[in-house]
Amino acid sequence: MTTFISFVIVLGVLIFIHELGHFLVAKLSGVGVEKFSLGFGPKIVGFTKGETEYRISLLPLGGYVKMVGESVGEEVSEEDKLRSFAHRPVSNRAAIVAAGPIMNLVLAAVLMPVIFMIGINIPAFLEKPSIIGYVVPNEPAFKAGLKKGDLIESIDGKKTANWEQVLASLALNPGKSIEVEALRDGQEIKTKITPDTSADTGAGTGGMYPPMPPVISEVSHGYPAEAAGIKPGDRILSIDGQPVGHWAELEDIIHKSGEKKTFSIGRDNGTLTIEVLPRYNPEARVYLVGISRKDEQTLKRYGFFESISKGLTTSVEMTTKLFVVLKGLVVGKYSLKTLGGPIMIAQVAGKAAASGLSDLLYLVAFLSLQLGIINLFPIPVLDGGHLLFFGIESVKGSPLSERFMTIAQQVGVVLLIGLMLLVTYNDLFRIFG
């Protein structure tokens, strides 16, 4: 029930804000609005005020604002032409259409600082002293001579009190040589490290990690670990006789080879030996057994101005990642199987609601940002498609033909239906496959 209610709330907020943008600008422009609907299909409840019917409809996967003279080929009386969408200047129509996705972007921008002020759950290690728990062989920290147990004291002369500051410094300096001061066995050491550039985000990475014990939090359904009998709470002691003291070591061993591996596991003060055959995952392009790390979380609240800064930074990161993923889908780096639909949103909304208000608001902001950006893409049916047609009309000096508009809308509908079928199939396959 929590999952369903959370899903309805999240989707309802996103749809309402989007359609409210269209509605308000239409009203301010003097365009008549016949219906304001949350959802499609048959009406569940509603009321009429003035010229507008406000309603909640059966299918909750969207909404619409029906304006006078909006539909292609719609007949409008002489007295209604002044209130007709189609008879407004191109700039006016474009403003009405663009208002929907812009409202989604505004919602995300407003929510982000609020989330940081309420407080967000962050990995507990971020606020702990920057003691290195593992150095990846042949990566920047290894090449700089840093070792497990070193305490990083400063980077480029700036004191580093915790891992959050260390990781931020590395992320902001991809490809640049930075000076690191560390404490090793009571002795001060100085070295220089040049962070690698992440292919996905463009941020700098150092190839060093805080202590992360190889304790399992979750076991994925249908994966080899579940079939082998591995359980949440198990601690991996060794793999094929090789001691494992850090989660990154565990990942490195599993990801590289599909050969059967012998796990030595600590459970309930005893030791078990379990054989597991990793499975190749074409999306991740590595071998997996289906386990995830146990991470301690802590709630952190930020001040007003820091929240605004954090909110802005996070919004930029979200936008960057969205385009990285879209590019990956186009060039084949990511599989279409990774796309999720309403069922996945419902599952994530349920988990976010169970985690707390800030996580639920974060999900709303994340989805609102995505909805706003994607809706501006120049694809028929989407708001961006209408804006493209208005641009062509402005250059051409006359409206596009009804036949062209009808065909474009039909193509858009087919693409949209195809996408919905794909993501629904992906959602169901993740559950039952």
Query: Which residues have a catalytic role annotated?
Result: 19
3-state secondary structure of 208: strand
Radius of gyration of the chain (CA): 27
Residue 197 CA to residue 203 CA, distance in Å, equals 6
Query: Taking the alpha carbons of 237, 238, 239, 241 in that order, is the dihedral positive or negative?
Result: negative
In this structure, what are the phi and psi dihedrals at residue 76, rounded to the nearest 5 degrees?
-130, 135
Contact residues for 360 (Cβ-Cβ < 8 A; gap 6+)? 6, 9, 10, 349, 352, 353
Give the Cβ contact number of residue 306 at 10 Å.
13
Contact residues for 384 (Cβ-Cβ < 8 A; gap 6+)? 101, 375, 376, 377, 378
Residue 173 CA to residue 144 CA, distance in Å, equals 15
Token couple for 305: 């101005």
Kindly write down the DSSP assignment for every residue of 228-293, as one continuous string: HT--TT-EEEEETTEE--SHHHHHHHHHH--S-EEEEEEETTEEEEEEE--EEETTTTEEE-SEEE
Is 37 in contact with 57 (CB distance < 8 Å)?
A: yes
Residue 79 CA to residue 82 CA, distance in Å, equals 7
